[in-house]
Each structure stands twice: as structure tokens, then as C-alpha cells.
Structure 1
């Protein structure tokens, strides 16, 4: 029986609706080159879209867990798409947005608490972990659709570059999330199939998995190889490196005041 409380737990949060409204208005501003400076509009558009994708990432985990047997998901507010309802809003929203602003990389978050003891079956546990990054993959496909469908006629350059940069963020998030490192979704996919003793030994290191991954990414050779792989995937979807790069360049509009913007992105291409 569906109670009023249950319906309330599933109702879309006003916070999420407000973020979606910012996404729609800023996207319109980028497309029409409205009075808002292009860089500011792109910043708002990409940031809002990125937060929406983070909410959908966590929602996918929660919804899959609900259908797999964890009926406590609804009461926790995860189905409302409210980013403030997450267990670790800092990890799921604040840090990912800061990393986009500072470095243009999709930081994987992880903040929905799932009562795994209520769920039976290895495949269910694996699917719950995979649902989040698969959402990033789907988001990337949607963002790049105009490119691989060859439907860019009439699409303003700024909007096209913004989509390219947003797709880069989704692909980096998907790759990082799928790494089989404790603490990341990729490890969650394979964990149910590992020996119990091994899982117990690895468990204490899970909180440091993400830190370790980003530490490794600071190694120049690894960083270059990682972004070459990302650019290769984007290229396969019809997005050129210059488009994603210029999208990031426009996103970081404050560089214009410091004279750091690339002149290649400042001319009509």
C-alpha cells in the first residue's frame, strides 16, 4: 500500500527542480547568446548539468537497490533527487563541482547508504554498483548525440563546445568510477565475486581508494595516458579535442581577466 509518506519520499525535490531550471535557462542563454556573458552562461550551464548528472548517478544506485530488496531507500529521501539528502554531500556534490572548476575532471562521488544485508544475489549487488557509472555513460551518449548523428548544423559554437566539455566530464567520471579500486563503483561490481577473506582485508583501505587514484593521476605519464584515452573515446563519438578543450576554456571564464584564455578558442572556428 502506498502511503502519503511514501509518495512524499518519491516526490522530486524542489532543490533538484531549481537546479534543472538553472540548466534550462543557462542553456537557452548559451544557445541564443543572450545578454549574459557567454563564459558565465557556459559556466552555469555545465555546472548545473554536472550536478544533475551527479544526482541521477546517485538516484540510479538508489533505485536499483530499492528494486533489489533494500526497502529503506525511500525513507532516506534518495528517490527525491535531492542532493542535500545524500550521506556525504561534500563527496557527492561539493568536491565534484570544485574539481570541475579547478581541473576539468569528473570526480566520482559516492554517497547513498545502501543496506546490503537486505539484498541477496551477487548479480544484484554488482548491478547496484554499476548503475551509477552507467548513468554517466548514458549522459555522455546524450551529450555527444549531435556529434555522432552529424546534426550540428545550426548549433552555436559555444553550445557545441559546452556539450563537448560536459561529455568529457561524463566520460572521465565513468572511467574513474569503473576502476576496480576499493571505494569506487568498479570495485563494488566485482566485490561480490571475491573471496570473503580478501574482501575483509581490503575493506579498511576503501576510504583511501579515491585519494590513491587521484594521487596516481598526478603522475605526468599516467595523466597523459588517461586523457589520451578520454580524447580517443570522445573522438569515437565525433567530438574533436579542440571542441572539448575550448568548452573547458570558455567554462573557466575568469581566465579572461587574467589573460590566460587560448586565442584559438577566441576566434570563429
Structure 2
């Protein structure tokens, strides 16, 4: 009975499989330009792929915690990849999607509750925190593979632009997540190595860490520096600023385009 329960706790949810199906169908529509509106197809493809990456990000935290000693993550539904099981669906899914729609920024999610008291060893705690953003890094590597492998022959322009924009979201999410700011995974990585007094003083700041980061990103100089770093990483992976710009342009299909990224059918 317990064995069956544990298998049920790890069964991939139909909700996640549905999101993957949307990603696959809309990705095909972007590739073939089958849809009447290529922009709408790009919007649905990138948004569903982004939600898939958010689910994998949270799953990576939970799976690493399971191996670290927190056996409660299964009962909480975290191993099913179902985004509706997260502690804060708003923080983990809805807000990140809204930020993509509004500004093309990969907002880190963060809403699986790990019972840290069950886990022994500082390295395990650090690895649990690192697992999420490392998933974004892996996603970015996959999205940019056609670029750095120089394998873009035959890849339709809309799909190429969509991959470039999706890669930008993954890289920006990874960079933000790795910042050593309370409340973000980067702080979670270093927290086990800090003294008890420092951790106790910093703990009340955790709920405000992400808010402070986004307030800073409204400062033009900080924003330019951040996106310059994102562009630098993407450039190293073979993705140009023009490609990410055109991907974002196609994604925002409801806006009038200036024609710079017009895609021939």
C-alpha cells in the first residue's frame, strides 16, 4: 500500500501533461506557420514552454530535497509536476507569466515548501537551493543548442526567434535566481554556510528580497547592466540581440510591429 502511495505521489499530473501538449502543438504551429497568426502561436508556445520550465524548476528543488531527507515532498504533490500543488500558485506561475507578458523578464518562481529541519548537511541544503536555477540553465542550453551548434539551417525564422526569446527568459531567471539576495535561491545556496546570528538577522528580510530586486531593475542604469549581462551570456551561446528582440516582438502579437521583424510566409 505504501509502495503504491509513493508511486502515485510521483505520477506525472495530467495538468502538466496538458501544458506540455499545448507547448508541442503550438511549437509545431510556429514551425510550420500553420496558424493564421504566427504571433499568437509564438505567444502560446513560449508561454507554455515557460510554464513547463517553472514546473521543472520547482520539481528540481523538491526532488533534490527528497534525496536530501525530506520525505514529505511527495505527499505534498511536488513530485507530480502539477503547478496547482505549489504553496503559492500566484508566485510560482501567475506572476512569472505576467512579468513575461508585461516586460519580457524571467521572474524566478519559488513556492515549494521544503522542511529543512529534516535535512542534515550544509552541502545538501545548498544543492537543494541550486537545483532550481540549474534547471533554468539546462533549459537555456537546450533552447540555444541550434545556435551554438550552428544547426539553424532549415529552422523557420519564427521558431528561431521564439527559441531566442525563450532562452532570454531562462537566462534572466537563472541570473536573478543566483543573486545572493534573501528570498532567492542564490541566498539559499550560501545561507547554510553563514553564522547563526547572521541568518537570524537576515531571515525577516526574505519576503522583501524579490521586491527589492525588481525595484532596483526599474532604475535605468541597473536595468541596462542586468540586460547587458543577459545579452552577454546569450551572445556567448550564439544568440544575437536582434533575434531575442524579434522573438519578443512576435510574442507581443497584440502590439503594432514596426516591420523590423516581419516574417515572410
TM-score, L = length of structure 1 = 0.97
Residue of structure 2 in register with 1:72 after alignment: 72
Higher mean Cα deviation, 37-46 or 2-11?
Answer: 2-11
Task: Please tell me whether residue 216 in structure 1 is matched to residue 220 in structure 2.
Answer: no
Give the secondary structure class of the aligned counterpart of 1:3: helix
Shift in Å, 1:36: 3.6
Please tell me whether the aligned partners of residues 62 and 78 of structure 2 are also in contact (alpha carbons under 8 angstroms): yes
Residue of structure 2 in register with 1:190 after alignment: 190
Please tell me whether the aligned partners of residues 158 and 263 of structure 2 are also in contact (alpha carbons under 8 angstroms): no
Please tell me whether the aligned partners of residues 126 and 192 of structure 1 are also in contact (alpha carbons under 8 angstroms): yes
Q: Deviations over 1:204-239 (max 9, x none)?
A: 010000000000000000000111111111000000
Please tell me whether the aligned partners of residues 180 and 186 of structure 1 are also in contact (alpha carbons under 8 angstroms): yes
Matches within 5 A, 1:59-138: 59-138=59-138
Residue of structure 1 in register with 2:152 after alignment: 152
Task: Please tell me whether residue 264 in structure 1 is matched to residue 260 in structure 2.
Answer: yes
Q: What number of residue pairs does the alignment pair up?
A: 264
Give the secondary structure class of the aligned counterpart of 1:264: coil
CA RMSD between the two structures: 0.9
C-alpha separation between the residues in 2 aligned to 1:75 and 1:22?
27
Residue of structure 1 in register with 2:139 after alignment: 139
C-alpha separation between the residues in 1 aligned to 2:26 and 2:193?
45
C-alpha separation between the residues in 2 aligned to 1:166 and 1:267?
18
Residue of structure 1 in register with 2:166 after alignment: 166
Please tell me whether the aligned partners of residues 127 and 189 of structure 1 are also in contact (alpha carbons under 8 angstroms): yes
Task: Please tell me whether residue 249 in structure 1 is matched to residue 249 in structure 2.
Answer: yes
C-alpha separation between the residues in 1 aligned to 2:119 and 2:214?
31
C-alpha separation between the residues in 2 aligned to 1:7 and 1:193?
35
Please tell me whether the aligned partners of residues 171 and 230 of structure 1 are also in contact (alpha carbons under 8 angstroms): yes
Give the secondary structure class of the aligned counterpart of 2:202: helix
Which runs of 5 or more residues in structure 1 are unaligned? Answer: none
